[in-house]
């Protein structure tokens, strides 16, 4: 059990967040407000108190179903802007100085947003977040795997044709089962050729072979989740040797039931194998957590003291796609805080 002093230390620690989805990070207040705007045409409760039950996921497939119901609430430009700005405010409240926010353009384009309009809205909200709260946001444009090649084609088109200033990486989310990573090899090759970093999800609800596929076929520089890498010692060695970071989200893995319990979580085994990891919140309100709470969970799983917790924060900065001068400044801020 962490002491109050350690919890307070985590709360004040400057951080980077590398794996958080824009819709999944929307606070209950924002989601309830959006549901109220569209009452009668959504299954999402307009009462924040009812969202906890709504977010009780039976399995990963049910999580995707609920996630898409929340996505469907974002129908107007003001909905999207308010969501991004609110997420930025919540991140800043946890001393997140820099965040790479995963957005899924295709699901919004299906609901009537034009390519340029979508990018203009998120960019305007990003600049306002930095001006209002001091938190720097960058984007990962994410293929929703459930839409197959059509979704990938459109996501790549928006990324390369619009190329918003804040875009740094190209990802792949959604269901893993039945969706081979190799289906998207050409999309990732084009994104990488254009200078975007490769950060697909893999090894979350499927095994180690999916992580291998993400590395070999998608050129992954970081892996979203990747917790089932523990099934393959050769893969662990490869990740450690090549410095491929896993974006680990402990509570998410329990809530989506891809790991049976926190006692079974493979984070300690990954760290013991020398695999670089970062700690992240994924879809925090949906999973009843925050980034600060995920740091607390990791501290208990890894038996970390304050220095070890600060090292987690430094690791996230080093694994980020922040410019070198920005990395140096944020690590210096962590060092100054940790003493």
Residues labelled as active-site residues: 204
3-state helix, strand, coil in the chain (%, to 5): 60, 15, 30
Q: Do 267 and 253 meet the contact criterion of CB atoms below 8 Å apart?
A: no
The radius of gyration computed from the CA coordinates of the chain, to the nearest angstrom, equals: 19
* Contacts of the segment 105-110: beta carbons below 8 A, 24+ positions apart: 105/141, 105/154, 105/155, 105/158, 105/159, 106/143, 106/144, 106/147, 106/151, 106/154, 106/155, 106/158, 107/68, 107/71, 107/144, 108/71, 108/74, 108/80, 109/154, 109/158
Beta sheet of 197-202, edge-to-edge order:
15-21, 96-103, 136-144, 167-173, 197-202, 222-225, 245-248, 277-279
Residues 6+ apart with CB under 8 A from 14: 95, 97, 313, 330, 333, 334, 337
The 8-class DSSP code of residue 279 comes to E
Beta strands in 68-211 (DSSP E): 96-103, 136-144, 167-173, 197-202
- Within 10 Å of residue 279's Cβ, how many Cβ atoms? 27
């Amino acid at each position: 059990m962490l002491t109050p002093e350690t919890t307070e230390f985590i709360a004040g620690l400057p951080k980077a967040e590398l794996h958080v989805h824009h819709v999944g990070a929307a606070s209950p207040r924002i989601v309830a407000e959006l549901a109220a705007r569209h009452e009668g045409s959504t299954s999402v409760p307009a009462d924040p108190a009812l969202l906890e039950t709504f977010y009780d996921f039976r399995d990963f497939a049910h999580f995707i179903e609920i996630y898409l119901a929340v996505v469907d609430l974002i129908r107007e430009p003001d909905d999207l802007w308010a969501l991004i700005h609110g997420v930025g405010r919540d991140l800043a409240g946890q001393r997140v100085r820099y965040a790479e926010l995963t957005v899924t353009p295709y699901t919004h384009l299906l609901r009537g947003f034009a390519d340029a309009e979508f990018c203009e809205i998120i960019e305007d909200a990003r600049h306002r977040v930095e001006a209002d709260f001091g938190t720097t946001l960058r984007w990962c444009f994410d293929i929703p795997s459930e839409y197959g090649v059509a979704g990938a084609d459109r996501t790549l088109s928006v990324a390369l044709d619009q190329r918003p200033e804040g875009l740094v990486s190209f990802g792949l989310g959604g269901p893993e089962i039945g969706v081979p990573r190799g289906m998207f090899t050409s999309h990732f090759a084009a994104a990488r050729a254009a200078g975007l970093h490769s950060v697909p999800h893999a090894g979350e609800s499927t095994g180690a072979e999916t992580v291998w596929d993400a590395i070999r076929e998608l050129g992954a520089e970081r892996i979203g989740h990747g917790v089932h890498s523990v099934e393959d010692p050769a893969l662990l060695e490869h990740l450690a040797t090549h410095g491929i970071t896993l974006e680990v989200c402990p509570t998410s893995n329990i809530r989506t039931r891809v790991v049976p319990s926190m006692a079974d979580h493979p984070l300690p085994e990954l760290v013991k194998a020398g695999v670089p990891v970062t700690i992240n919140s994924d879809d925090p309100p949906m999973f009843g957590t925050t980034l600060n709470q995920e740091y607390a969970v990791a501290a208990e799983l890894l038996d970390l003291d304050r220095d070890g917790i600060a090292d987690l924060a430094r690791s996230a900065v080093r694994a980020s796609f922040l410019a070198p001068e920005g990395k140096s400044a944020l690590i210096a801020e962590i060092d100054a805080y940790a003493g």
